[in-house]
Amino acid sequence: EVKLLESGGGLVQPGGSLRLSCAASGFTFTDFYMSWIRQPPGKAPEWLGVIRNKANGYTTEYNPSVKGRFTISRDNTQNILYLQMNTLRAEDTAIYYCARGWEPVDYWGQGVMVTVSS
Amino acid sequence: DVVMTQTPVSLSVSLGGQVSISCRSSQSLVHNNGNTYLSWYLQKPGQSPQLLIYKVSNRFSGISDRFSGSGSGTDFTLKISRVEPDDLGVYYCGQGTQYPNTFGAGTKLELK
**Contact assignment for B48 to A109 by CB distance below 8 Å:** yes
The predicted model gives B101-110 an average pLDDT of 98
Predicted confidence at residue B28, as pLDDT, reads 98
Predicted confidence at residue B47, as pLDDT, reads 97
pLDDT in tens, A51-67: 999 999 999 999 999 99
B48 Cα to chain A: minimum distance (Å): 6
Model confidence at A72, in pLDDT bands (50, 70, 90)? Answer: very high
The predicted model gives B75-81 an average pLDDT of 98
Contacts of A80 (CB under 8 A, 6+ apart): A21, A22, A23, A24, A74
**Contact assignment for B96 to A62 by CB distance below 8 Å:** no
Q: How far is CA A114 from the centre of its chain?
A: 12
Predicted confidence at residue A103, as pLDDT, reads 86
pLDDT in tens, A18-46: 999 999 999 999 999 999 999 999 999 99
Around Cβ A25, how many Cβ atoms within 10 Å? 11
Predicted confidence at residue A30, as pLDDT, reads 98
| Beta strands B107-111; B38-43: pairing state | unpaired
Residues of B near A (Cβ–Cβ under 8 Å) read: 37, 39, 41, 48-51, 54-55, 60, 92, 94-97, 99-106
Nearest to A106 among B60, B101, B105 (CB): B60
A17 Cα to chain B: minimum distance (Å): 23
Model confidence at B3, in pLDDT bands (50, 70, 90)? Answer: very high
**pLDDT surpasses 90 at A48:** yes
Identify which of A17, A22, A15, A16 has the alpha carbon closest to the alpha carbon of residue A37. Answer: A22
Predicted confidence at residue B56, as pLDDT, reads 98
pLDDT in tens, A88-118: 999 999 999 999 999 899 999 999 999 999 9
Contacts of B95 in chain A (CB under 8 A): 103
pLDDT in tens, B35-62: 999 999 999 999 999 999 999 999 999 9
| Average per-residue pLDDT for chain B | 97
Predicted confidence at residue B21, as pLDDT, reads 98
Inter-residue contact B94 to B4 (CB < 8 Å): yes
Question: Residue A104: is it exposed, middle or buried by C-beta count within 10 angstroms (0-12/13-18/19+)?
Answer: buried
